[in-house]
Amino acid sequence: MAVVEKLNVGIVGAAGRGASFKSALEASGRARVHAVCDIKQDAIDEAAKRLGASEKYTDYDEMIEKSKLDAVVVGTPMPLHVPQSIAAIERGMHVMSEVPAGVSVEECRRLVRACKKSKAVYMMAENYTYMRPNVLVRALVKQGLFGEVYYGEGEYLHELKGLNEITKWRRKWQTGINGCTYPTHSIGPLLQWFEGQRAVKACCAGSGHHYRDPRGDEYENEDSVVMLCKMSRGGLLKIRVDMLSERPHAMTNYSVQGTLGGYESARGGPGDVNKVWLRTLHGDPPVWHNLDELAEQYMPEMWRKPSEEALRAGHGGGDYFEVQDWLGAIFGKQPCPVGIHEAMDMTLPGLVSQQSILQDGAWLDVPDSREW
Ligand SMILES: NC(=O)c1ccc[n+]([C@@H]2O[C@H](COP(=O)([O-])OP(=O)(O)OC[C@H]3O[C@@H](n4cnc5c(N)ncnc54)[C@H](O)[C@@H]3O)[C@@H](O)[C@H]2O)c1
């Protein structure tokens, strides 16, 4: 039997989110967790044991310098994604980075340049694009069943004031800056449904400030921020991100409209389901149908007989499938679905929205990373 080549993977942020990548990496049979890194001295031993790593580090530079790694998973707080990704890419190591790709347009530009110079595969871990309903809607769009898609909505409503105080970086990078600081879970699936398009202009406004942190300080981010994006072929996206308002979580609210039909995801209410109406399949008059009724005929292969690991994986299976696609791209099976430019398409509008909200909601250009 042929010996399967295994990649040695290092996970940074191993005592936090980074740990969630282990089972998907190992389920592939093509990768092993070789080294782990976290600055938490008191947690690194336990993390190494739990993740079965042979090496452990509390300094990232030391890990990528000393350890014989083929690839790195970056699961650290947002401002570390770019510097840690670049450091690995410059050493020829493949990178899977948590979302968003970066926290400023300038550092994103540096990341794109590093990727362009390297053969390493960079992927942003946009796991919501792999959720079962999102994958099915994408397949329906691809079949042309929505006609021309021209409007989409995505919402990430996740009250995290308590979590802010535990993972303190969130207080600064998610709720301490005004604008869409965490948009990729909302815009990611929509961009795949608007295939071949990107946001070319963005503007942003907020709902004001109604909450204070435990120190009595107002959050710099407004409670609900709404970003509008004009798409390259003229369509419109509306993205709402709210990490402060007191309400049940709803991180996977989506809708899409095309010339031949529409989709509205379940918004979490009792009995609510994902709903679709497609003129060519359902006919007139327009009445909602359960999206699931179309699964048997249109669901792509990946979600037909998902493995136990996929079903157990977090974020509706997204944490499993994204890793398989990253490894597939590394081994030349298929192109990387959320490579550097798709990562930029999902990240840059949010960074531009942070400029727009400072300029009273002005429409601003979103840079095209393909030109960098
Ligand atoms: N895709 C998703 O669904 C999803 C879900 C949760 C978090 N995230 C992303 O994952 C990242 C981490 O989030 P989290 O909730 O796990 O945060 P966390 O604070 O719980 O974990 C981050 C870990 O990184 C470690 N760390 C910090 N600085 C470091 C450094 N310089 N070197 C090595 N380790 C360092 C911390 O000690 C901590 O253990 C964030 O970017 C977040 O946006 C994504």
- Residue 345 pLDDT > 60: yes
Please tell me the distance between residue 17's alpha carbon and the centre of ligand 1 in angstroms.
5
Instruction: Express each pLDDT in 289-329 by its tens digit.
Output: 999 999 999 999 999 999 888 888 888 888 999 999 999 99
Please tell me the distance between residue 75's alpha carbon and the centre of ligand 1 in angstroms.
5
The pair of three-digit structure tokens given for residue 200, joined into one six-digit string: 């070319």
Mean pLDDT within 162-176: 98
Confidence of residue 4 (pLDDT cuts 50, 70, 90): low
Give the pLDDT confidence score for residue 332 in this predicted structure: 95
Substitution site in 76, 81, 124, 338 for ligand 1 pocket (most atoms within 8 Å of beta carbon): 76
Q: Which atom of ligand 1 is nearest to the CA of 16?
A: 21
Give kind and range of the element (H or E) at residue 169. Answer: helix 169-173
Substitution site in 98, 128, 166, 177 for ligand 1 pocket (most atoms within 8 Å of beta carbon): 98
Give the pLDDT confidence score for residue 28 in this predicted structure: 87
Q: Which atom of ligand 1 is nearest to the CA of 169?
A: 19
Give the pLDDT confidence score for residue 216 in this predicted structure: 98
- Cβ of 268: how many Cβ atoms within 10 Å? 14
Give the pLDDT confidence score for residue 1 in this predicted structure: 42
360: three-class secondary structure by DSSP: coil
Residues with CB under 6 A from ligand 1: 12-13, 15-17, 37-40, 60, 75-78, 80, 98-99, 125, 127, 167, 315
Please tell me the distance between residue 16's alpha carbon and the centre of ligand 1 in angstroms.
5
Give the pLDDT confidence score for residue 311 in this predicted structure: 86
30: three-class secondary structure by DSSP: coil
Instruction: Express each pLDDT in 107-152 by its tens digit.
Output: 999 999 999 999 999 999 999 999 999 999 999 999 999 999 999 9
The overall average pLDDT reported for the chain is 96
Q: Whose CA is nearest to atom 7 of ligand 1?
A: 17
Asked if residues 154 and 126 have their Cβ atoms less than 8 Å apart, the reply is: no
- Residue 251 pLDDT > 80: yes
